[in-house]
């Protein structure tokens, strides 16, 4: 399992976990991980701070789900929403400012409950799968 945003992710294993995926989105969508509309609009309108949003997301959304089942279900997928990640000089995600997103709350929840680190997807980290049955001609 990894996380990313629609703008960055280029693969075909994405799962939308946001209220409004792109209009042309044809991939999977998992509504139980979507934030409540009231929370979404409250943080966008600066009526909620990040700490309160995280608390409400955990209480109202994640508390209804089993982290092991979610991880098992999406272990080969990339959870997607809109916020672009912000990285520090060591390419660690910074969850403050414009990079704050509920997919990072999901990652933290998986870590806290299963001790499994969920990283942000990066194209350069993807392994190119080679056909092991191909015979070299040279």
Comparing CA positions, the residue from 75, 93, 78, 67 lying closest to residue 18 is: 78
pLDDT at 93: 55
d(C-alpha 9, C-alpha 48), whole Å:
28
d(C-alpha 137, C-alpha 120), whole Å:
38
Residue ranges covered by each domain of the chain: 2-35+65-125
pTM: 0.79
d(C-alpha 33, C-alpha 30), whole Å:
6
- Residue-wise pLDDT tens for the chain (138 aa)? 999 989 888 888 999 999 999 999 999 999 999 999 998 888 888 898 888 989 999 999 999 999 999 999 999 999 999 887 665 555 555 554 455 788 889 999 999 999 999 988 877 766 544 444 444 444
Q: How many CA atoms lie within 13 A of 65 on its CB side?
A: 23
Question: Quick one: how far is CA 83 from the chain centroid?
Answer: 10
pLDDT at 84: 75
pLDDT at 40: 87
pLDDT at 64: 97
pLDDT at 73: 96
Euclidean distance between the first and final Cα of the chain, in Å?
Answer: 37
pLDDT at 59: 95
> 80 with 18: CB under 8 angstroms?
yes
């Amino acid at each position: 399992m990894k996380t990313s945003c629609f703008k960055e992710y280029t693969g075909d294993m994405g799962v939308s976990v946001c209220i409004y995926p792109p209009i042309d989105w044809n991939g999977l969508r998992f509504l139980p991980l979507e934030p409540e509309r009231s929370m979404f609009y409250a943080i966008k309108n600066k009526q909620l701070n990040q700490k309160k949003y995280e608390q409400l997301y955990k209480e109202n959304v994640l508390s209804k789900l089993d982290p092991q089942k979610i991880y098992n279900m999406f272990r080969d997928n990339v959870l997607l929403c809109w916020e672009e990640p912000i990285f520090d000089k060591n390419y660690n995600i910074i969850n403050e400012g414009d990079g704050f997103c509920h997919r990072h709350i999901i990652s933290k929840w998986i870590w806290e409950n299963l001790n499994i680190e969920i990283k942000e997807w990066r194209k350069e980290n993807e392994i190119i799968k080679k056909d092991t049955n191909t015979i070299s001609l040279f």
